[in-house]
């Protein structure tokens, strides 16, 4: 009984702590928006450069009603998510398959490090020229931003497999394919899952930079266009919407991580 009461008390304290943290988070957000609005109205901030939350909201509503805003959101989201999915899946498979050939992995590993350090965003103009200003160039850039990171994460997880367990499975008559599916992949999954948060941010950066260079639609194109026409309200609309979109994608990836981790842990326990 005492242990149960102590446990319930600890859980209540954690819940209260979480509520307090969430209250502070939302309170800071509301406070910053209120200060921004107040500063713009009282002249503390230059309304031409910094606009105000109400003006940004009105501009966003106008653009949404015309259909331009939601089309740009859909375009940027699709290129980001598609590049993220392709880069994560292909990169993870690449990294895992290195386990079958240690020599190939040793040859490829320094190249992966170099490619990961390469400023891939600097190649955006070349990719846009090669693949055009359409949707494909944004997906390819988002893909390139994520595939190497995913490969390195997967290969790091494969390398972390306990050699004693590998030797044990081989001694019991397991084939390489069985060792790969039963030991290597499960061991590397936490590494792959932990890299999802990084990859979604990289993917969005690639997509937006591609739109900055040249594009016929997207939030990045909208921001560039608004800047060239000195429509700073529209620039702020793009920045705010892009910030909200990035937060939503990040939260979705965090939820995906939790679901995959729970499912993987359940499967491991069952097996």
Indicate whether 23 pLDDT > 90. no
pLDDT in tens, 79-93: 999 999 999 999 999
Give the pLDDT of residue 84.
Answer: 93
Reading phi first (left if > 0) and then psi (alpha if -120 to 50, else beta), residue 43 is in: left
Residue 199 structure tokens: 């990859």
CB-CB neighbours of 233 under 10 Å: 18
As a whole number, the mean pLDDT across the chain is 83
CA dist 203 and 208 (Å) reads 9
| pLDDT > 70 in the chain, percent | 90
CB 72 within 8 Å of CB 135: no
pLDDT value of residue 13: 54
152 half-sphere exposure, CB direction, 13 A CA radius: 18
pTM (2 d.p.): 0.81
Query: What are 36's two structure tokens?
Result: 């921004």
The answer to whether the CB of 128 falls within 8 A of the CB of 185 is no
Domain chopping of the chain, boundaries: 1-45, 48-270
pLDDT digit string, tens, across residues 96-131: 988 888 888 888 888 888 888 878 788 888 888 888
Q: How far is CA 148 from CA 43, 81, 198, in A?
A: 48, 16, 12
pLDDT of residue 82: 94
Q: Does residue 57 carry a pLDDT above 80?
A: yes
> Which pLDDT value is given to residue 267?
54
pLDDT band at 6 (very low <50, low <70, confident <90, very high): very low
Cα separation of 161 and 153, whole Å?
A: 13
Q: Which CATH number fits domain 48-270: 3.30.2310.20, 1.10.3720.10, 3.30.420.40, 1.10.150.120?
A: 1.10.3720.10
């Amino acid at each position: 009984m005492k242990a149960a009461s102590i446990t319930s008390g600890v859980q209540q304290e954690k819940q209260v702590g979480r509520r307090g943290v969430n209250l502070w988070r939302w309170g800071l957000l509301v406070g910053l928006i209120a200060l921004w609005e107040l500063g713009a109205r009282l002249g503390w901030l230059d309304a031409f450069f910094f606009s105000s939350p109400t003006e940004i909201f009105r501009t966003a509503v106008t653009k949404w009603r015309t259909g331009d805003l939601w089309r740009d959101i859909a375009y940027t989201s699709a290129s980001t998510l598609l590049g993220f999915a392709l880069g994560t899946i292909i990169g993870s498979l690449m990294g895992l398959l290195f386990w079958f050939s240690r020599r190939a992995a040793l040859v490829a590993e320094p190249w992966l490090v170099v490619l990961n350090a390469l400023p891939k965003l600097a190649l955006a103009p070349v990719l846009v020229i090669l693949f055009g200003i359409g949707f494909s160039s944004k997906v390819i850039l988002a893909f390139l931003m994520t595939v190497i990171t995913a490969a390195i994460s997967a290969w790091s997880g494969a390398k972390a497999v306990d050699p004693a367990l590998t030797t044990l499975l081989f001694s019991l008559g397991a084939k390489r394919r069985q060792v790969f599916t039963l030991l290597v992949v499960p061991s590397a999954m936490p590494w792959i899952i932990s890299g999802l948060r990084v990859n979604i941010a990289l993917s969005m950066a690639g997509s937006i930079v591609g739109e900055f260079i040249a594009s016929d639609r997207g939030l990045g194109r909208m921001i560039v266009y608004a800047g060239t026409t000195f429509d700073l309200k529209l620039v702020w609309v793009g920045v705010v919407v892009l910030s909200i979109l990035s937060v939503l994608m990040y939260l979705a990836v965090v939820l995906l991580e939790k679901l995959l981790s729970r499912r993987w842990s359940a499967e491991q326990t069952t097996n």
